[in-house]
Amino acid sequence: MLWTIIVWIIFGLIVGLVARWLVPGAVGGGVLTDIIVGIVGALIGGFIYRWFGHGGLDPLWSFIYALIGAVLLLLLLRAFSGRRPAV
C-alpha cells in the first residue's frame, strides 16, 4: 500500500511538471502544487480514459490521459484565478 502511494506521488509529480511546462504561468505554488495537480489530473484523466471505453492499464495511455486531465485542471485553475500567463 505504501509503495502504491509513493508511485502515485512520483507519477503525479511527473505529470504535474509536464502539464506546468505545457501551460506556463498557470497557477502559483511549487512542487507540492505540481504533485497535487498531477494526481488530481491523473484522476480526471482516468475518468476520461474510462469514459471513452478503455479499461486496460496501458502505461503510455495512462500517462497521456493523466496529462490531459492535468492540463485541463490547470486551465480551469487559471480561468478561475484570473491570472494571465507569463509570455
Averages of pLDDT over each 10 residues, the chain, 87 residues: 72 82 71 78 78 71 82 82 60
- Exposure string over 41-50, b if 16+ CB within 10 A, otherwise e: bbbbbbeebe
- Exposure string over 55-74, b if 16+ CB within 10 A, otherwise e: eeeeeeebbebbbbbbbbbb
- How confident is the model over 13-24, as pLDDT tens digits? 888 888 888 887
Q: Which residue has the cell 509536464?
A: 18
